[in-house]
Amino acid sequence: MTHSIALNFEDGVTRFVEARACETIADAAYRLGINVPLDCRDGACGTCKCRVESGEYDGGSYIDDALTEEEAASGLALACQARPKSDLVVAVQAASAACKTRPQAFETVLRGVERLSATSLAFTLERPAGLAFLPGQYVNLRVPGTDQRRSYSFSSAPGAATLSFLVRDIPGGRMSGWLGTAQPGAQMEFTGPAGSFYLREVGRPLLFLAGGTGLAPFLSMLGRLAATGTGGHPLHLVYGVTNDADLVGVAELGAFAARIPGFTYSTCVATEASAHPRKGYVTAHLEPRHLNGGDVDVYLCGPPPMVDAVRGWLAAQGVTPASFHYEKFSPSGPADAARLAA
């Protein structure tokens, strides 16, 4: 029996490897030419220390100098010793280039483009063979006919048959302009997956905060949670946009609320001119119960001012969430500057 291991490198690159029965994380990686940090290979030096973010594993044998009891209890493991007992997500303490790997490149085909509103588009791609990703991650897509790249988070769940994305329709925007006239069957290419903004194992209540097309990664996460459940933990999402026309994907949220026990959501529109019943920013629509006294995992994806505002608001509440994962994005920025994952 094999287990999938998602290796997440410090620079945001993710590579997936399949571990054979009884194979260590390091052996599975090296078999694919991914040279994760190693020295003694014997559980003695600690060079291969990594963080297992989700999944079950046998930690193997090692000396305390290589990995202390406290480190092991906090989720650290030795890649030369640890053997997966389920699929794993592993944070490697090195950049991808240092491990002689890089983002994978894929070629694909445009399935279709859908106009969701005056300001938003969705597009769908064929799923290339061999692609795996974590819910919340993104890819860097080349704008056809140019050398420009744009990064977009998957809005589809990892197991979906096709790949979906949300795009803000920016006047003069390279990708949204191309999508405006693109025909199904057009060739596209991307590299990825990438990003450290992905759903971790659910161990406490969750709070999702989405701004604009920052909803996309949450739709992917909700797709995963619709399949796995939340382990009985409540999950609340607040989705804020600037103008009424920016509010898309609400029907999908309603469908997820019907499928995921404990999932609730609310929407809000910032502009005063809105006809929406809830106006203002997402922080105006949070209640103390959503923060659960700090025993909550917070995920936030939105434009930089929103991320900064939420961080400031949490500090003002005197609440430090158990974990806080965020991703800033700029809808028109180049790929490298567009994602600043925490």
Q: Which residues bind ligand FES (CB under 6 A)?
A: 38-48, 66, 78, 80
Q: Does residue 193 have a cis peptide bond before it, meaning omega lies within 30 degrees of 0?
A: yes
Helical ranges in the chain per DSSP H: 25-31, 69-73, 174-181, 216-228, 250-259, 288-291, 304-317, 335-338
Closer to ligand FES by Cβ: residue 39 or 295: 39
Closer CB to ligand FES, residue 44 or residue 160?
44
Which of 73/273 has CB closer to ligand FES? 73
Which of 229, 290, 301, 298 is closest to 265 using CA atoms? 290
The tokens for 187 are 């060739």
Residue 44: CB minimum distance to ligand FES, A? 5
Q: Which single residue is written with the structure tokens 């997440």?
A: 8
* φ and ψ at residue 137, rounded to 5 degrees: -80, 170
Of 330, 326, 329, the residue nearest 342 (C-alpha):
326
Nearer to ligand FES (CB atom), residue 47 or residue 332: 47
Whole-angstrom distance, CA of residue 164 vs CA of residue 50: 32
Least CB distance to ligand FES at residue 26 (A)? 7
Residue 39 or 107 with smaller CB distance to ligand FES: 39
Query: Distance of CA 100 to CAs 13, 42, 84, 192, 228, Å?
Result: 12, 22, 23, 16, 34
Sign of CA dihedral 209, 214, 217, 222: positive
Q: For ligand FES, which is the closer residue by CB, 33 or 231?
A: 33
Measured from the CB of residue 42, what is the shortest distance to ligand FES in angstroms?
Answer: 6
Pairing mode, strands 187-194 and 206-211: unpaired
Shortest separation between residue 19's beta carbon and ligand FES, angstroms:
16
The CB-of-82 to ligand FES minimum distance in angstroms stands at: 9
- Closer CB to ligand FES, 44 or 116, in the complex: 44
Cα gap 105→92, rounded to integer Å: 21
Least CB distance to ligand FES at residue 68 (A): 13
CA distance 222 to 23: 32
CA 239 to CA 247: how far, in whole Å? 9
Task: Indicate the residue among 40 and 94 with the shorter CB distance to ligand FES.
Answer: 40
Q: Which residues contact 165 (CB under 8 A, 6 or more apart)?
A: 122, 123, 124, 125, 152, 153, 154, 155, 216
Q: How far is the CB of 49 from ligand FES (least distance, A)?
A: 8
DSSP character at residue 51: E
Q: Rounded CA gap, 82 and 53, in Å?
A: 13
Smallest gap from Cβ 81 to ligand FES, in A, equals: 6
